[in-house]
Amino acid sequence: MGEGFYRPHEIDLPAAVRAALPAVVRVYTRIQLWVHVYPTPEQTQEARQRPGAYQTQYRPEGGVIWPSHLSSTDLLALRNDPLARIQAGRFELVEATRHLDLPDLREPAQVLTRTLGSGATGFILGFRGDRAVIATNYHLARAAIGRHARQDGVYDWQPVPTRDVRIGTNLVPENLTYDHVLEEVELVCNASFDDWQGGNDWALLTVPAASLPVARGLPLAARPSAGEEVWGLGFPARSARPEKTGYADADGTLRVTHGVLLGTETGGAGWRAELDGLSGSSGSPVMNAQGEVVGLLRNHTHYHFPDTGPIDRRFMEYGGQAQLAPTDTIQKIIAEAGLTLHRS
């Protein structure tokens, strides 16, 4: 496996994969955590059982606030966990509560984190009228889906404006940060909550086509095959790999990973791939050598090492296996909606 998170110029790419780079976009989710910290586990458990303890707050201007209830012991463990640095949510939670003196905490404390900063990934599928259609994960569009009560799934074209998600694009070819942010986003279709939990982790968004510097979407692969080489294009955040790997720290800029399709997951929901991924890689298009998308990166497992147990504490060094959401339902929807690959 070509382990690593490489800048596009640092890795040899098939011409079709390199041509796909402009169709990748960054997805900003606008999530904050309202952290409640309690001196004892007993107080924490009591708070978690109160009615409304995990009620989502939807901000009128867009974005959500999710409650989190932790004991001082829980939070201390997070502070000492090296994985917390590379996981969206945990990183912001730890940083926002760094000022708390946990051993001497006597009263519950409440802290609002900053917006989760890593962003994530999506890609342009094609065009419909004057809108560009973007594929990403259900879990990245979860705030918009919840606000509009679409958890049962929407499988035809039903656009609703949303400010819970923003799209970052790139107007300068040499710039890898994709920090030109588009606000005019619509949520048009999405999987159901049950779909998401079963591995069909997808949602479709649109933005004005004229605001994007790209005129071509990415085709979906008809029949992926185990053993195929694949490349993932996304925005992994805050990796801490050792210098021996020969590439710079993944800092939320556009990166390429390389691997192989391993086979379908149990139950046939999607594919597994020997492919690196971190927080921020969610929604990445995983492509074959022909530049066709074989799936959306939705999650990542850890390798099992005998000396570290089932949760690999060397995850930052060795990677694992990517789990890919299938594109079957998306293919059907875009065919019925009449998408075109090229902008007219």
Domains of the chain, earliest start first:
8-22+219-329 (2.40.10.10), 31-112 (no CATH), 120-218+333-337 (no CATH)
String of DSSP letters for 277-301:
--TT-TT-EEE-TTS-EEEEEEEE-
Place of tokens 């560009």: 132
What's residue 163's pLDDT? 95
Contacts of 323 (CB under 8 A, 6+ apart): 199, 265, 270, 271, 272, 297, 298, 299, 300, 301
String of DSSP letters for 183-212:
--EEEEEE--HHHHHTT---EEEEEEGGGS
- For the stretch 8-26, pLDDT in tens is 888 899 999 999 999 999 9
For the chain, residues with pLDDT lower than 70 are 1-3, 117-118, 173-174, 238-250, 265-268, 301-320
What's residue 243's pLDDT? 52
- For the stretch 205-259, pLDDT in tens is 999 999 988 889 999 998 888 899 999 999 887 665 555 455 566 677 888 988 8
Question: Helix (H) and strand (E) counts for the chain?
Answer: 8, 18
Phi/psi of residue 315, nearest 5 degrees: -55, -40
